[in-house]
Structure formats: structure tokens, C-alpha cells
Amino acid sequence: MACSVYECLALIGARITENRDYLTDLDREIGDADHGANMARGFAAVVEKVPRDNPDIGAALKKTGMTLLSTVGGASGPLYGTAYMEAAKVLAGREALTAEDFAAALTAAVAGIQKRGHATRGEKTMLDALIPALEAYTARIAGGGSLSDGLDSACAAAREGVAYTKTIAATKGRASYLGERSIGHQDPGATSAAITLEAIRDYTKG
Amino acid sequence: MVGIVIVSHSWKIAEGVKDLARQVASPDARIVAAGGMADGEIGTDAVMISEAIREADGGDGVVVLADLGSGVMSAEQAIELLEDENIAVRLADAPVVEGAVAAAVEAACGGKIDEVTSAAEEARGARKLN
């Protein structure tokens, strides 16, 4: 599809900003109450620094990653920063995306987060939204689904993953200090990951 | 001389550890603090850390010490940002204060990058009470 990567990033930023207090409240339960504020600050810088008119998706995502690294502050800075930068490598020079391109970019982003956080599924992190989302996306397009179909499946799986984080104890990140006491609380990172995918889905549907 | 970068969520911690290590080791020790965010807020900034590594390198490489949580992630990211540059960098698995002092002393004595890294990491087992 033809797209404006800037517009898509701006929509992600708008959704993150709308949910700033919600994400921060989730983080207050099991973290240090800064996830929403940190992510909103990061995306405010992203929409300022990413050029509006450059169609190169890879370049825009690289700029997004670098900006998040230096503006977010908490763990989500290097985690989302790595995700966007790894996706950028896959999409360097691209001005439009196929369903397969998005699969490759999401695969690279998720692998980057796993590497950076030394985490895996089931540790009450953003990976509990992103890994199921990636699997659902890949399965849907393997069955002939479009980019938009794939994102529908990915978003549904991400929200199931977010709900799942309520049922498990954290073993990574700040919430791991709470151990079993983190059960019953929804992970803010998984939530912001689901919000991000939903913004991308909604952008593709115009 | 091997350079040392101190990464902390707090710029006061990073600056303080730098001052302490320099005082114990040598006023000429190549130590650069990379603490907090550019605006002084609590946090870590991988881009700032990568610039600190570049500044600390005098040709003999750099040992990085990072505090908890995202300090380590941002340090790892910073090292990746420098992949294409010819700087030897090690991330020490060490406590920041004790490790930085031990590393600075080793570096000031002419230790190589692996020796400086080991000095920092051995500080982890140092007992304070008998």
C-alpha cells in the first residue's frame, strides 16, 4: 500500500498521548508510574524530528528509534528504540509496504526487543502482546490475508496477550521486584504495544 | 589509557562516581559520566552514552559500567550504535561505585581493556565487613 510513514507515526503518537494517564496508572500499580508520560514525551519528540515529506519508511523508523532512545528515559526507551531501529533495517529505502514487508519488519522488531530485554514470552512484558500478535499476523497473511487483515488478527491477539499479562507474575523489569504480588495487574508495556498495533491498523484502514 | 564511562539513571550519581574514581585513581583518568536525560531528568539515554564512549576513548578502548534496569539496556544499545566505529568497548558486569574505582585504578596503572574490565567485575565480590 502507499502510505505516509509520518502520518502513521503521528497517529501512534496521538494514541499514546490519549492514553498517557491510563498507561501511567497501570504503571503505578506495578512499576514506577512513568510509562505513559515517558512514551508521550518520546512521541512528542518523534513527530517533531521525523521529516513530514520524506517517503523513505526505513529512514523515518530509524529516526523514530534514535529519538525514542534519547527522550523516553525508562526501559521502554531502549526497548521501543531497538524495535523501530530493527524494523528500519528491514525497510530501508522502501516507500510502500506489502503484507510480507510488514511481517519481516515486525519479526525484526520483536527479535530486537527480545535481544535488548533478554526476555521471552510469559514474563509479563510487551512481548506477551507482540509475540502472539506476530504469530497471528503471519498466520493470517500465510492464508492469503492482506496487510489490513493481518493487522486485524494481530490486534486481537495483542489484546488477548494484554489480558493474559494480568494472570501472570512479572519476572523481568521493575515489576519483577513485586513477584507474585504483580498478579492481577495488567502490564503497561504490553498495553502500549497493543495501542501501537491498533494505531497502525487504523492508519491502514484510513 | 583505557577510558571508563559511568552510566546511571541519575546524573548526580554518574558525576559523583566519576569524581570519586578520579580522586582515588588519578586526576588524569579518562572517565566520562553519562547520567540521566539531557534535561536532567531521571533516566538513561543511549545516544548520550554512545557520545560518552566516543569521548572516553583515547585509542585503548572503553569500559562501561551501568546501574540497574534500563541502564544496562541503554548501555548495550549505545555500544551497538558504535558498531561501525573502531572503538573497543566492554560492558562490565559490576557494581557501579566499587567497580568504577577499581577500574579507574587499573586503568591509571596502565591496565589493558580486559584487565580493567576484570578489575571492575572482581569488585563485585569485595567484602566490606569481616
- CA gap A65, A42 in Å, rounded: 10
Q: CA-CA distances (angstroms) from residue B63 to A39, B2, B48, B74, B95?
A: 30, 7, 16, 15, 13
Compute CA distances B1 → B32, B64, B112, B123, whole Å.
13, 14, 8, 20
Using CB atoms, which residue from B46, B47, B73 is nearest to A117? B73
Mean pLDDT, 10 residues at a time, chain A of 206 residues: 83 98 94 93 97 94 97 94 97 95 98 95 97 98 97 98 96 89 95 98 92
What per-residue confidence (pLDDT) applies to A3?
Answer: 65
**B109 Cβ under 8 Å from any chain A Cβ:** no
pLDDT given for residue A1 in this prediction: 45
pLDDT values of chain B reduced to their tens digit, one per residue, 130 residues = 999 999 999 999 999 999 999 999 999 999 999 999 999 999 999 999 999 999 999 999 999 999 988 899 999 999 999 999 999 999 999 999 999 999 999 999 999 999 999 999 999 988 888 7
- ipTM value, please give it: 0.88
State residue A47's pLDDT score.
97
The residues near B128 (Cβ < 8 Å, ≥ 6 apart) are: none
Q: Is the dihedral of CA B124, B125, B126, B128 positive or negative?
A: positive
Interatomic CA distance for residues A81 and A63, integer angstroms: 9
- Cβ contacts of residue B39 below 8 Å, gap of 6+? none
CA distance A60 to A58: 5
Residues of B in Cβ contact (< 8 Å) with A66: 47
Of B2, B9, B61, B99, the active-site residue reads B9
Global pTM value: 0.93
**A5-204: CATH number:** 1.25.40.340
The full set of domain ranges for chain B reads 3-125
From edge to edge, which strands make up the β-sheet containing B89-91?
A: B31-35, B3-8, B62-66, B89-91
**pLDDT confidence of residue A32:** 86
Contacts of B74 in chain A (CB under 8 A): 69, 77-78
Clarify whether B9 is annotated catalytic.
Answer: yes
Cβ-Cβ contacts under 8 Å for B125 (sequence gap 6 or more)? none
The domain over range B3-125 is classified in CATH as 3.40.50.510:
yes
Grid cell 582515588 is found at: B24
Give Cα B101 distance to the centre of its chain.
Answer: 10
Give me the pLDDT at residue A5, please.
95
Query: How far apart (Å, rounded) are the C-alpha atoms in residues A80 and A35?
Result: 12
- The pLDDT, as a whole number, for residue B69 is 82
